[in-house]
Amino acid sequence: MPKRFRLTRRVPIAMTEDAYRRLKSFAAEAGLDEGEAISFVFENFDGITDEEGLLHRLRRFNLELDGRKK
């Protein structure tokens, strides 16, 4: 029997305009709303990320983060 899909957690998040546009685009392409799209990404995180690429992008993002906050 398939697991029932319920959005049980609400998390207030802040994201950049670029991230929000990408989320909306991904959700629309997949036929999901934004909450469902975020759930999909995190439920399938290991399967949709390349660990080496993720670590590289995360380091780069962290280096740029202070400059983006100003």
Residues sharing a CB contact under 8 Å with residue 66, sequence separation 6 or more, in sequence order: none
Type of residue at 1: M
Note the pLDDT of residue 3.
Answer: 64
pTM above 0.85?
no
d(CA 20, CA 46): 22
pLDDT tens-place string over residues 30-62: 999 999 999 999 999 999 999 889 999 999 989
Q: Single out the residue of 7, 44, 37 nearest to residue 19, CA to CA.
A: 37
Q: In angstroms, what CA-CA distances link 58 with 25, 52, 53, 61, 62?
A: 22, 10, 8, 5, 6
Note the pLDDT of residue 17.
Answer: 94
pLDDT band at 23 (very low <50, low <70, confident <90, very high): very high
Note the pLDDT of residue 4.
Answer: 65
